[in-house]
Structure 1
Amino acid sequence: MSMKGVSYEMSLNLGTNFLALVLNILLGLVVVPFYIAKIGVDGYGIIALATSFSSYLSIITIAIDASVGRNFTLAMRKDDHASSNAIYSSSIISALLLIVAILPLIGWFLYKIDSLVSYHGHTVNEMRWVFVAIITSFVLTFIRGLFLVPAFASNKIYIQRIIAILEIVVRTALVYLLLNASAQLSLIGVAFFLASLVSFVAALIWIVRKFPFLKLRASSFDKQIVKYVGSMSFWLVINQIGTLLFINIDIILLNHYYGPTATGEFSTVAQWHTLLRSFAGVFVAIFTPVVYKYYAEKDFNNLLKFSRYSVVAMGVVLAIPIGIIVAYSDVILKLWIGERFVHFYPLMILLTGHLIFNLSVLPILSINAVYNKVKVPGLTSFFCGGLNLVLGILIIKYFDLGIYSVAIASAILLTLKNLIFSPTYAAKILEQRFWFYYPSIGRGMALFVWVLLMSWGCRHFLVPGSWAAMCVSCVLIGLASIPFAWFVTLNKDQRLLIEKLIRRR
């Protein structure tokens, strides 16, 4: 399939992904101050810790989703309904059995939670219920993802996003209504659970209507499929452990060494890190199915072109928001949360600045999965994640930099991993020179530096004192960056491709 052949699906997926992103950003920016106003910084720290704990459970689920998605996509592209049904049923049944198997571990954690988690200002029963509800919500979301694998395989990512939007809207509405009725921490757990349940039911209704040939049957369970998917999933699990040791270990270390207040402060500022990752995830979700399509159709020439194009595209779309956030970090914190958090602006720069490298390479990580070359990346990610944990503890103990300690360790090691290993290993899989992706990464970095210069230039004339003035500054910087992005960041072929897509629209 040519690039033209996937442009319509990409446009539809892009639209719904952006809608989900905008909602995440707007609601996220509104909900965090609302949480702090209703349940305090300590309470928000508990919510952040509970969602972080769910992320550690996701090390298995994300690996299963990726492995199942790859194999189901290849089967569907061959119109092999028998294999599709076997993969579908085997994956869901195996996931349910896995959940049952880890229930004792979750039960032990919930029973001992008062001795494992630092907290104050809320009762242990409130905190325990929040963890129970958020973990249950996560389990429903995981199973929903497996039911929606056909949407990924058919490049209908917009269905997954529409259902995710439904969950976001329902959860936010329930949080607002319940906390206004009674500012109890446990009610947030109720909102998470009910929103996930609604989206789960919506996913079931869609899959039954659109893919009637897919039937969840115990008779379709195939041990060989589970074994094959499991072998790939194992190394993806190792990879996810490493990734989470980069992303989510910060909150756990802070809670252990500094308590819930520091956890809440760090989690508040880190919201912008999370939003930028969500922003990048919009494009990764669009690019990945296209890579799978080219691989399934053995169109390796377009796969090469598209993978490099995706890195440039990520650099273009990330450079402007990351550059503005870094340059205006103090202004954003003042407008968003208030004077109390302005002194954390160096933390905000530390958490977001390195993402111009670390998010730009995300599209090429799908190369590892589609070629089933996941062992070496898994071991590398696990090693670097473990080193991040050790380095974080050492910095806390010997330098006592407070909430900056873990951010410094993560920024250094994650950047080293994604600048040295990730692009060179993907190039090796594709049998290209080791520098194959570096020109694409460099183009995004050049645009990032340009945005920083434009931002600091604007600050010299005007420091925004309101959201309206901040928006005006963002628009001016964005407009000033477009010529640089068009003539410097993009090469001739990429400009021609965009012009063709615009004409077709």
Structure 2
Amino acid sequence: MDKKRLAINMAAQLLAFAVNMGISFFLAPIIEAQMANTYGFVTLANQFVLYAQIVVSALNTMASRFVTIHIHRGEEKEAGEYFSSVFFGNVIMAGIFLLPALVIVIFMGNLPFLHVPADALHDVQLLWAFVFLNFFLSIIMSIYSVSTYAMNRLDLTSIRSMYADILRIIFLFGTFLLWRPALWLVGAASLISTCYTAFWNRRYTRQLLPGITVRRQDFRWKKVWELISLGAWNSLTRLGQQLLDGVDILLSGALILDESASMTMLSLAKMVPTAISSLMGTVVGVFNPQITIAYAEGDKEKLVDIIKSCNRILIFIMSIPIAFLTAYGRDFYALWQPTKDPDMLQRLSLLAVGVLYVSMSIQVLYHVFIITKKVKWNSLVVLGSGICSSLLSLILLSKTDLGVACFPLSSMLTGVLRNMIFTPIYAARCLEIRWNRFYSDIFLGFASIGTITVLGLLSRMIVPIHSWIILLLTGVVMGPLALLVNFFVILRKQERNMVIGMVRSRLKGEA
């Protein structure tokens, strides 16, 4: 395992993630203060795009896997055919989705499943138009992101993503100062950011993979079908995950009487859990190229070692924000959204983050299903749990007075059961190792979260939090303490060296 490159990639990815999340959390209260109970439409627009991406992912999910493996096996011609086939396949899919996107935007005021206030209709229509345009551009250009993945240079895309986020916030602040704040400006800013990222991804492809380019003569329907036949199972996985995590925003707006208020409340409550989940994906994504390369090289011992290291690094990093949300969440929400009920926000956010108590320790195992091409059973189980979650939500909504809390509660229950019973056992089977090999990592994660949460609750009893300054000072003290505990308790020597390398790379300004 290339520990130096892994450390550099990790540092760059985390820096880009921090900038992105900082912008999101800073922007949300500004929009909500200017346009009460409308921020939920930003989340809902992105949720609709995610449903479309579920279909698109049937072609794109396996692209990185096939291109990377063929490049590292010296089969450049084969890699080029997959590259071109995915590009033209995405162009075709963008054309197919254009008509329904136009229908949704034009007839938004008459859609039975979407209730938009009359005074915000034009603004929401423009927002969704920009969100859809951003989606079309991102799927067409997505194949160009494979180059940095295949050559294990994720640091390059991370830095450009950070610059793209900075460009996005400059545009938003500039337009908010010149004109009145509007939802559609959020969509326009995202489109500008995607254009910038797409330009650099295409440039990196020419630099890192000079022999790989889009050629019409390299397009193969056979390659497209091969990718779709495997990727369709991953689309089912994403559909199940969306039923677990995303359909609640739509249902809360359609089924609960206080429509936009409940949708906004749930959207705000899920921002921190979603950010934590995104951070988890960022950390896992750093390991995925090396996992894929190790599999391509046929080194099973190296592959399992990388997976175990990723699990421990995940616990080292992820247990801290999860524990801090558990201990300090109410104080954070009281300061961040002073016009909302902090207790309700805290309850909803803890339900939304509940599944991460388990999944944070084994999230990398989902990539095992992809590289081994054993995605069928995982897809069916995730889809089944998503359907069960949606049905349970509807039952709880009709039989109890839990209200909007029904949705994250159902998602948490089904997600925890799946990750405790199925995921670690089936991943071990795919790797042909002992069935309970990954349960020690899950229990290690429980121990880490529990220890840090107790420390946080004790500190909160000693120093009550009533202002941003006290909250930040508490984080300054408790954050390093939690890192120190995890550094010596969770990490082995090899992961400690990796973390030290990551810190050194940032101090030296390496890229």
Coarse TM-score class (shorter-chain normalised): over 0.9
* Residue of structure 1 equivalent to 2:331: 331
- Structure 1 position 111, deviation (Å): 3.9
Matching of residues 4-403 of structure 1 within 5 Å: 6-41=2-37, 43-114=38-109, 115=111, 116-120=113-117, 122-180=119-177, 181-258=179-256, 259-338=259-338, 340-344=340-344, 345-403=346-404
In structure 2, how many angstroms separate the alpha carbons of the residues matched to 1:22 and 1:486? 21
Q: Which runs of 5+ in 2 are unaligned?
A: 505-511
In structure 1, how many angstroms separate the alpha carbons of the residues matched to 2:231 and 2:169? 33
Matching of residues 421-440 of structure 1 within 5 Å: 421-440=422-441
Q: Cα gap change, 1:209/1:307 in structure 2, threshold over 3 Å: closer, same or farther? A: closer
**Contact 1:24–1:275 (8 Å) recurs in 2:** no
Other structure's SS at 1:362 match = coil
- Structure 1 position 483, deviation (Å): 5.3
In structure 1, how many angstroms separate the alpha carbons of the residues matched to 2:91 and 2:335? 45
Q: Cα gap change, 1:430/1:119 in structure 2, threshold over 3 Å: closer, same or farther? A: same
TM-score calculated relative to the size of structure 1: 0.94
Matching of residues 439-450 of structure 1 within 5 Å: 439-450=440-451
Other structure's SS at 2:7 match = helix
- Structure 1 position 271, deviation (Å): 0.8
Other structure's SS at 2:422 match = helix
Letter in 2 for 1:105: P
**Contact 1:326–1:348 (8 Å) recurs in 2:** no
TM-score calculated relative to the size of structure 2: 0.92
Letter in 1 for 2:306: F
Q: Cα gap change, 1:122/1:206 in structure 2, threshold over 3 Å: closer, same or farther? A: farther
In structure 1, how many angstroms separate the alpha carbons of the residues matched to 2:501 and 2:285? 24
Q: Deviations over 1:169-192 (max 9, x none)?
A: 222222222233222333333222
In structure 2, how many angstroms separate the alpha carbons of the residues matched to 1:50 and 1:496? 43
Letter in 2 for 1:21: F
- Structure 1 position 482, deviation (Å): 4.5
**Contact 1:315–1:356 (8 Å) recurs in 2:** no
* Residue of structure 1 equivalent to 2:507: none
Q: How many residues align?
A: 497
Q: Cα gap change, 1:497/1:52 in structure 2, threshold over 3 Å: closer, same or farther? A: closer
In structure 1, how many angstroms separate the alpha carbons of the residues matched to 2:140 and 2:481? 45
Q: CA RMSD in A?
A: 2.0
Whose RCO is larger (CA < 8 A, sep 6+)?
2
Letter in 2 for 1:455: G
Other structure's SS at 2:436 match = coil
In structure 1, how many angstroms separate the alpha carbons of the residues matched to 2:118 and 2:98? 28
Letter in 2 for 1:75: H
**Contact 1:67–1:232 (8 Å) recurs in 2:** yes
Q: Deviations over 1:182-216 (max 9, x none)?
A: 22333333222222223222322332344332221
Letter in 1 for 2:9: N
Q: Deviations over 1:65-101 (max 9, x none)?
A: 3200000001110222211211110110011112212
Q: Deviations over 1:306-363 (max 9, x none)?
A: 2122112211211111111111111001121215331322222222243121232211
* Residue of structure 1 equivalent to 2:496: 498
**Contact 1:324–1:452 (8 Å) recurs in 2:** yes
- Structure 1 position 158, deviation (Å): 1.6
In structure 2, how many angstroms separate the alpha carbons of the residues matched to 1:126 and 1:482? 44
In structure 2, how many angstroms separate the alpha carbons of the residues matched to 1:149 and 1:483? 35
In structure 2, how many angstroms separate the alpha carbons of the residues matched to 1:468 and 1:427? 46
Q: Cα gap change, 1:93/1:412 in structure 2, threshold over 3 Å: closer, same or farther? A: same
Q: Cα gap change, 1:15/1:62 in structure 2, threshold over 3 Å: closer, same or farther? A: farther
Other structure's SS at 2:403 match = coil
- Structure 1 position 152, deviation (Å): 0.8
Letter in 1 for 2:223: I
Task: Please identify, of 290-299 and 313-322, the stretch whose mean Cα deviation from structure 2 is larger.
Answer: 313-322
In structure 2, how many angstroms separate the alpha carbons of the residues matched to 1:63 and 1:400? 39
Task: Please identify, of 57-66 and 324-333, the stretch whose mean Cα deviation from structure 2 is larger.
Answer: 57-66
Letter in 1 for 2:214: L
Q: Cα gap change, 1:496/1:48 in structure 2, threshold over 3 Å: closer, same or farther? A: closer
Identical aligned residues as a percent: 21
Q: Deviations over 1:425-474 (max 9, x none)?
A: 10111112221100011111101110111111111111122223223322
In structure 1, how many angstroms separate the alpha carbons of the residues matched to 2:317 and 2:436? 22
Other structure's SS at 2:61 match = helix
Task: Please identify, of 153-162 and 250-259, the stretch whose mean Cα deviation from structure 2 is larger.
Answer: 153-162
- Structure 1 position 479, deviation (Å): 4.0
Q: Cα gap change, 1:502/1:197 in structure 2, threshold over 3 Å: closer, same or farther? A: closer
**Contact 2:313–2:495 (8 Å) recurs in 1:** no
Letter in 1 for 2:427: A
Q: Cα gap change, 1:339/1:112 in structure 2, threshold over 3 Å: closer, same or farther? A: closer
- Structure 1 position 486, deviation (Å): 4.0
In structure 1, how many angstroms separate the alpha carbons of the residues matched to 2:402 and 2:440? 36
- Structure 1 position 238, deviation (Å): 0.8
Letter in 1 for 2:28: V
Q: Deviations over 1:18-48 (max 9, x none)?
A: 111110221111111111122222x211111
Q: Which runs of 5+ in 1 are unaligned?
A: none
In structure 2, how many angstroms separate the alpha carbons of the residues matched to 1:395 and 1:108? 33
In structure 1, how many angstroms separate the alpha carbons of the residues matched to 2:380 and 2:252? 26
Q: Cα gap change, 1:428/1:52 in structure 2, threshold over 3 Å: closer, same or farther? A: same
